[in-house]
Amino acid sequence: MKELVALILAGGTGTRFSPFSRDKLLFPFMGKPLVSFTPVFSLPKTVNRVVVVSNDKNKEWFIDANFGVPHTVIVQNESNGMADAVLTAEKEIGNARLLICIADDLFDAALLSTVVETGQKENVFGVLPGWKTKTYFPGGYLVQDGKRVSGIVEKPGEGKEPSEYVNISGHYISDSDVLLNALKTTKRDTDDVYEEALTGLMQEYEFSMVPYTGRFQSLKYPWHVLPIMDTLLSGIAEFRGENVIIKDHVVLEGQIHIGNNVKIMEFTKIVGPVYIGDNTIVGNNNCIRHSMIGANCITGFNTDITRSYIGDSCWFHSNYIGDSILEENVSMGSGSVLANLRLDEGEISSIVKEKKVGTGRTKLGAMIGNNVRIGVNASIMPGIKIGSRSFVGAGVTLAADLGSDSFCKNKPQLEIAKNSKQLNPTARDQFKTKL
Amino acid sequence: MKELVALILAGGTGTRFSPFSRDKLLFPFMGKPLVSFTPVFSLPKTVNRVVVVSNDKNKEWFIDANFGVPHTVIVQNESNGMADAVLTAEKEIGNARLLICIADDLFDAALLSTVVETGQKENVFGVLPGWKTKTYFPGGYLVQDGKRVSGIVEKPGEGKEPSEYVNISGHYISDSDVLLNALKTTKRDTDDVYEEALTGLMQEYEFSMVPYTGRFQSLKYPWHVLPIMDTLLSGIAEFRGENVIIKDHVVLEGQIHIGNNVKIMEFTKIVGPVYIGDNTIVGNNNCIRHSMIGANCITGFNTDITRSYIGDSCWFHSNYIGDSILEENVSMGSGSVLANLRLDEGEISSIVKEKKVGTGRTKLGAMIGNNVRIGVNASIMPGIKIGSRSFVGAGVTLAADLGSDSFCKNKPQLEIAKNSKQLNPTARDQFKTKL
Amino acid sequence: MKELVALILAGGTGTRFSPFSRDKLLFPFMGKPLVSFTPVFSLPKTVNRVVVVSNDKNKEWFIDANFGVPHTVIVQNESNGMADAVLTAEKEIGNARLLICIADDLFDAALLSTVVETGQKENVFGVLPGWKTKTYFPGGYLVQDGKRVSGIVEKPGEGKEPSEYVNISGHYISDSDVLLNALKTTKRDTDDVYEEALTGLMQEYEFSMVPYTGRFQSLKYPWHVLPIMDTLLSGIAEFRGENVIIKDHVVLEGQIHIGNNVKIMEFTKIVGPVYIGDNTIVGNNNCIRHSMIGANCITGFNTDITRSYIGDSCWFHSNYIGDSILEENVSMGSGSVLANLRLDEGEISSIVKEKKVGTGRTKLGAMIGNNVRIGVNASIMPGIKIGSRSFVGAGVTLAADLGSDSFCKNKPQLEIAKNSKQLNPTARDQFKTKL
């Protein structure tokens, strides 16, 4: 049997992941990069070798990574789709069986083993997982022909799905040369050359499907950090680091990971699952629910953090942070708010590459890059993105995305007049009696 | 003796009660309509029959109401004063003794029995209660002539009162036909036809007065909800519903009614008298004093509710709600404030039917109709009214009334420039040492 | 030996101390004027008589003051420098030895005795203290010539200091007539006539220096209140007045002075050193650290006061007050914030007499005169000064100093349109399940 090569697609520029400056695969969760939680680090034992198609931001990380088997790292920065990504690795994957994984697809790692085993057992040319999902998914759907898969239809539209099964990564291909040839000869007049090539091969070769009903998540847009965080939080264990100080009058509920040297101040409630990184101080009178908070943060007095991702070195003070994502070293002045709900309570959309994209969420706060400063009493509207190294002035209501390296403030708008009003010296005494 | 008919005046359009959309008599307090707390549901046992002059909004409710004696409901939507209201019921009240009550006058119910008994004992044509009040009241004052009442002077002006006694409802008239005739023949060139007609009758017939020093309240303007709430709160009993959850670190002081399925979260203080309706969740780190909160509300984190009326299904989050009235299904974003005090601490006025009306209060917050949404960090000025189904944008300072079905937001006003400021990477460490 | 007269310079108009309206020497700390904490009330026992050069604001106070020896008060309102201040007192200080003290110089009182003793022991014409400081000080530096002082160089510039020793007050002069004559004959073409005159005398007479390494503080600019407060706080003793009420769930740490009739409400933390004056109410869910709070204050719900000076009769409500100084009778509406940190975390400057002055601080909040009112959700920028009797409107972001007797508010800026948005009646139920 040919060598089994896991081809991990981890390249591309990830422009849709703005305002976050990190490579999305290296976006840290609980102190570790996202990719370390994905199936590509739980590959089947039958894999002989790993080839990674990386980009400039994550190349070094992948070079240093340990897959348990030998691995090679190739760089592909321009993002020309999956077919080109596979072809970039052509010299490293000839005359092999392939297990092709998109690195930011998150699903149960056992699926990969099942896919490979099915390929060997059924002795078919290819095996694809088919993800059964209740709601329409804007991706490719598998066409079934008896036991076999006979095509992939991209974005068929709701109600027009050819089957219940969505095409997700983890593809087993028994002959890499046949695939490479098909990728080269398929017309470039579509965004979906890879899927077209597979559909072409399906007319000639047998493809099986492994039905899959587990979780599937992908990190394309910045707001996808939140459901991934939810998944990772749901598995955290109760943990208390060294030198943790929990003051009196603190209420801890549910599973909470508390890192080394963390302090939690009085009159604060934390409702797990919550992760708190090393050296972080959770201030007085806080309420923290279902969130990840990085290392070296100070939440300050009277802060409410709910269903949010907070990177390292963030400072807060009497803020509301709901359903928001803050990359790193973000500070918010007293009273500033990351709103997470439209007044009409409708779906929150976001502008990505100049196009409006529905987020599928009615609760979504801000997405903020690193080294951002937000002034006191500023209001950031739901779904707004703020680029790295930008400042938002005091009292600003920010209702559109703000790019990186920007300073945004209110135009001067004050009227100053002589104050002709007199204070009634006894008014206060009257108020006091009503206290 | 003729039949004794209680004539309950509950019609009129109540336009001065805007922004609240409910009929003022059905405005709910502690889950029941206001009218159920008034003397018209504690009528003297000698009343044989009830006639209600209602309006379209409250008609159905009155039809279903139980007075313990037979009752008839008539509809009068246009509000042409008390004389017309009585005449509307003409066919139902002929050849009877009358006990005429304005349904939204709140006073001690025993007064009605005393009025009727006085009429029978003294065998006079009419009996009026005379409310003795310390401060000037902008209504009608009774003119006394020995033991008898000889006239009613409307709004005499402070210092010109003909007596110490204010004319309030609960009028006993021993012959309805004489009154109806007088109402018909009195000139229509005044707003006070009813009082003019009585003054006319007083020249011919004997009228007695029953002096009254108890409480008297009337619900004309929306801010009148607050003193009525105070009165009803002062009588509430300690109550704990079923399935109530009160977390640790909660402080309860004074008389507090806690409905079924209510949850009260940690680090919250409630100072009675306070009423909390069924299924309401009082969040963490709240302070709630001297207020009524309806059913199905969520007060959220860090909310301060003081001397306020909160209808059902309201949602808050880090708000200050002082001396305010929220009809139903109102949401306030984090950091929004209902201010209740002018900077000069003077009397708060309100615009009613395009005229400025003094409220007699130095502490008064907002009055908000149903289905209203208020954005984060918005500031609503003292005494402001917001109509039903209106939205107030984030960061808005609302200093004038907002009608119903309106969307109010700040004009765009941002200056965005390149951010040339550099953060000092060691500044935070210095701050940390000063914590 | 001639009579020893302590000449206390307490005159001048103190215009640089704006926005505070009090004379800076009478600025109260812990219920007593600043001057009572200075060395001029711990004079050497050898002082025979005191002469005070006062101004109109503090004259009465000095007349009533008790120095333990006879004292005379002279008024000098115009501030023409130290030489003129000394000359103002000419008639009272002839034929005497002088100990010249600037009343708002704060240093260890023992230094004055050492200066006088050195003068007597060494039998020199004059003795000056020399304050050794690590960082450059923008004042006068002493020139040393062996054991003697041979000159004073005003503001030499960093790196050009003639010695390590700064000229501070507490000057001993063995013959007042010689000094007076020198002051009269020195040219008026400089701001530093006094120092020029001394430098002149040093060419003829012997001057010794007493080296001093203790604390030295001076109250020139309004922000100087903070370091003086720090010094006084560092020495406070634990104290509980009469009739103090401390509710349950209150955390007190460090040295805290709690005056008579003070109430501290639930879920509040106080971290000493903190001083709280009589009759003050500290509200629920507060956090108060390293601050002085005057008498008759109400801090309200959810207020955070950090490293700040709060005068008497201030009222707060859900405010952040950081590194700020509030003279007296200042009220802040709910959600208003005194910001204490620039977005770029750089040094905060202030405009004094139309010139920008660096404060040497990266953390500095507002400086507010008496009888000021600040509206809800207003944001006062770091280092801003607000004059007495001024009002700041709701929602204002104040980024420049506001004079006294001013009313400052936002220009009207609302857009009001028909609200076409519909609320989804089931949205709330979905939210509730996610709580």
Q: What is the pLDDT of residues C319-364, one digit of tens each?
A: 999 999 999 999 999 999 999 999 999 999 999 989 999 999 999 9
Cβ-based contacts of A266 with chain C (< 8 Å): 251, 267, 269
C200 Rama class: left (phi>0) / alpha (psi -120 to 50) / beta: alpha
Residue A173 identity (one-letter amino acid)? I
pLDDT tens by residue, B203-225: 999 999 999 999 999 999 999 99
Pair type for strands C391-392 and C325-326: unpaired
Residues B409, C413: C-beta atoms closer than 8 Å: no
pLDDT over 70 (residue B433) = no
Q: State residue C72's pLDDT score.
A: 96
* Out of A320, A371, A411, closest to residue B334 by CB: A320
Residue B420: burial class (beta carbons within 10 Å; 0-12, 13-18, 19+):
exposed
Q: How many CB pairs under 8 A join B and C?
A: 132
The neighbours of chain B, by the rule of 3 or more Cβ pairs under 8 Å, are: A, C
Angle at B228 between CA B364 and CA B312, to 5 degrees: 80
Cβ-based contacts of A371 with chain B (< 8 Å): 423
Determine the Cα–Cα distance for residues B308 and B326; give it in Å rounded to an integer: 8
**Residue A373 pLDDT grade (very low, low, confident, very high; cuts 50, 70, 90):** very high
Residues C421, A334: C-beta atoms closer than 8 Å: no
- Minimal-distance CA residue of chain C relative to B407: C419
Q: Are B279 and B263 in contact (CB under 8 A)?
A: no
* Out of B266, B302, B341, closest to residue A304 by CB: B302
Determine the Cα–Cα distance for residues C108 and C231; give it in Å rounded to an integer: 12
C14 Rama class: left (phi>0) / alpha (psi -120 to 50) / beta: left
The alpha-carbon gap from C410 to the nearest alpha carbon of chain B, in Å, equals 9
**Residue A434 pLDDT grade (very low, low, confident, very high; cuts 50, 70, 90):** low
Half-sphere exposure of C345 (CA within 13 A, CB side): 19
Q: State residue C370's pLDDT score.
A: 95
The alpha-carbon gap from A418 to the nearest alpha carbon of chain B, in Å, equals 14
Give the 3-state secondary structure of residue A196.
helix
Cβ-based contacts of C267 with chain A (< 8 Å): 249, 266-267, 285
Interface test with A, best of B414, B428, B430, B431 (most A CBs within 10 A): B414
The alpha-carbon gap from B248 to the nearest alpha carbon of chain A, in Å, equals 9
Residue B79: burial class (beta carbons within 10 Å; 0-12, 13-18, 19+):
middle
**Residue A135 pLDDT grade (very low, low, confident, very high; cuts 50, 70, 90):** confident
Residues C267, A248: C-beta atoms closer than 8 Å: no
DSSP string for A99-121: EEEETTEEE-THHHHHHHHHHHH
**Residue C311 pLDDT grade (very low, low, confident, very high; cuts 50, 70, 90):** very high
Strands (E), A103-238: 105-107, 126-132, 140-145, 148-154, 165-167, 171-173, 207-212, 216-218
* Out of C376, C415, C421, closest to residue B337 by CB: C376
- Minimal-distance CA residue of chain A relative to B391: A343
Determine the Cα–Cα distance for residues C234 and B168; give it in Å rounded to an integer: 65
The alpha-carbon gap from A307 to the nearest alpha carbon of chain B, in Å, equals 14
Determine the Cα–Cα distance for residues A278 and B216; give it in Å rounded to an integer: 63
**Higher-confidence position of C191 and A285:** A285
Q: State residue B214's pLDDT score.
A: 93
Residues B376, A287: C-beta atoms closer than 8 Å: no
pLDDT tens by residue, C362-387: 999 999 999 999 999 999 999 999 99
Q: State residue A263's pLDDT score.
A: 98
Determine the Cα–Cα distance for residues A361 and B333; give it in Å rounded to an integer: 18
CA neighbor of A14 nearest in space, from A79, A91, A71, A66:
A79
Residues A363, C302: C-beta atoms closer than 8 Å: no
Q: Which helix (H) or strand (E) holds C429?
A: helix C427-434
Residues A390, B419: C-beta atoms closer than 8 Å: yes
Is the model's pTM score more than 0.90?
Answer: yes
The alpha-carbon gap from C280 to the nearest alpha carbon of chain A, in Å, equals 11
- Minimal-distance CA residue of chain A relative to C268: A267
Query: Which position has the token pair 């650290």?
Result: C289
Cβ-based contacts of A341 with chain C (< 8 Å): 431
Residue B36 identity (one-letter amino acid)? S
Q: Which helix (H) or strand (E) holds A79?
A: none
Helices B81-88 and B193-202, axial angle in degrees (round to 10)? 80
CA neighbor of C126 nearest in space, from C83, C84, C169, C186:
C169
Which residues, 6+ apart, have CB-to-CB distance to C292 below 8 Å?
Answer: C29, C30, C229, C232, C233, C274, C275, C308, C309, C310
* Out of B302, B371, B410, closest to residue C423 by CB: B371
Give the 3-state secondary structure of residue C262.
coil
Determine the Cα–Cα distance for residues C80 and C68; give it in Å rounded to an integer: 30
**Which residues, in sequence order, are bridge partners of residue C152?**
C142
Q: State residue B435's pLDDT score.
A: 57
Rg of chain A's alpha carbons, rounded to an integer?
Answer: 26
Residues B427, C284: C-beta atoms closer than 8 Å: no
* Out of C304, C381, C399, closest to residue A302 by CB: C304
**Residue C305 pLDDT grade (very low, low, confident, very high; cuts 50, 70, 90):** very high
Angle at C122 between CA C117 and CA C123, to 5 degrees: 95
**Residue A435 pLDDT grade (very low, low, confident, very high; cuts 50, 70, 90):** low
Q: In what order do the strands lie in the sheet with C287-289?
A: C250-253, C268-271, C287-289, C304-306, C320-322, C337-338, C379-380, C397-398
**Residue C422 pLDDT grade (very low, low, confident, very high; cuts 50, 70, 90):** confident
Q: What does the pLDDT average to over C135-161?
A: 91
Residues A375, C343: C-beta atoms closer than 8 Å: yes
* Out of C391, C418, C428, closest to residue B407 by CB: C418
pLDDT tens by residue, C42-97: 999 999 999 999 999 999 999 999 999 999 999 987 777 899 999 999 999 999 99
Q: State residue A433's pLDDT score.
A: 62
Q: How many CB pairs under 8 A join A and B?
A: 131
pLDDT tens by residue, C179-229: 999 999 998 888 899 999 999 999 999 999 999 999 999 999 999 999 999
pLDDT over 60 (residue B132) = yes
Give the 3-state secondary structure of residue B389.
coil
CA neighbor of A130 nearest in space, from A108, A86, A163:
A163
Q: How far is CA C418 from CA A165, A381, B7, B393, C414, in A?
A: 45, 21, 42, 13, 13
> What is the per-residue burial (b if ≥16 Cβ within 10 Å, else e) of C92-130?
bbeebbbbbbbbbbbbebebbbbbbebbeeeebbbbbbb
* Out of C267, C315, C320, closest to residue A285 by CB: C267
The DSSP call for residue B119 is H
Residue A15: burial class (beta carbons within 10 Å; 0-12, 13-18, 19+):
exposed
Structure tokens at A273: 């699952």
Q: State residue B434's pLDDT score.
A: 56
Pair type for strands A171-173 and A126-132: antiparallel
Determine the Cα–Cα distance for residues A239 and B4; give it in Å rounded to an integer: 78
Cβ-based contacts of B393 with chain A (< 8 Å): 343, 397
Residues C406, A414: C-beta atoms closer than 8 Å: no
Q: Are C381 and C347 in contact (CB under 8 A)?
A: no
* Out of A335, A413, A415, closest to residue C320 by CB: A335
CA neighbor of A194 nearest in space, from A154, A144, A155, A221:
A154
Backbone phi, then psi, for C344, in 5-degree steps?
Answer: -90, 5
Residues B408, C391: C-beta atoms closer than 8 Å: no
Determine the Cα–Cα distance for residues A361 and A416; give it in Å rounded to an integer: 43
Q: How far is CA A103 from CA A49, A112, A116, C256, in A?
A: 16, 13, 17, 58
**Which residues, in sequence order, are bridge partners of residue C300?**
none
Residues C435, B281: C-beta atoms closer than 8 Å: yes
- Minimal-distance CA residue of chain A relative to B408: A343
Q: What does the pLDDT average to over A210-214?
A: 95
The alpha-carbon gap from B144 to the nearest alpha carbon of chain C, in Å, equals 49
Q: How far is CA A283 from CA A253, B250, B435, C307, in A?
A: 17, 20, 11, 17
Residues B375, A302: C-beta atoms closer than 8 Å: no
Interface test with B, best of A268, A304, A363 (most B CBs within 10 A): A304
Q: Which helix (H) or strand (E) holds C191?
A: none
**Residue B23 pLDDT grade (very low, low, confident, very high; cuts 50, 70, 90):** very high
Residues A407, B421: C-beta atoms closer than 8 Å: yes
Q: How far is CA B181 from CA A109, B10, B72, B198, in A?
A: 92, 22, 22, 11
Q: State residue B412's pLDDT score.
A: 83
* Out of C267, C407, C411, closest to residue A418 by CB: C407
Q: State residue A427's pLDDT score.
A: 72
Q: State residue C435's pLDDT score.
A: 57
Interface test with B, best of A250, A269, A415 (most B CBs within 10 A): A269
The alpha-carbon gap from B347 to the nearest alpha carbon of chain C, in Å, equals 16
Q: How far is CA A54 from CA A7, A15, A140, A155, A272, in A?
A: 11, 15, 24, 27, 35
DSSP string for C300-355: -TT-EEES-EE-TT-B-SS-EEES-EE-SS-EE-TT-EE--B-TT---EEEEETTE
- Minimal-distance CA residue of chain B relative to A279: B432
Determine the Cα–Cα distance for residues B151 and B162; give it in Å rounded to an integer: 9
Query: Which position has the token pair 């070769």?
Result: A205
**Residue B127 pLDDT grade (very low, low, confident, very high; cuts 50, 70, 90):** very high
A147 Rama class: left (phi>0) / alpha (psi -120 to 50) / beta: alpha
Q: What does the pLDDT average to over B303-311?
A: 98
| Whether complex ipTM tops 0.90 | yes
Cβ-based contacts of A307 with chain C (< 8 Å): 434
- Minimal-distance CA residue of chain A relative to C283: A435
Cβ-based contacts of B413 with chain A (< 8 Å): 410-411, 413
* Out of C284, C302, C416, closest to residue B408 by CB: C416
Structure tokens at C145: 């010539």
The alpha-carbon gap from B285 to the nearest alpha carbon of chain C, in Å, equals 7
Q: How far is CA A249 from CA A256, B267, C249, C308, in A?
A: 17, 9, 8, 26
State the first-to-last Cα distance of chain B, in angstroms, to the nearest integer. Answer: 85
* Out of C267, C315, C408, closest to residue A414 by CB: C408
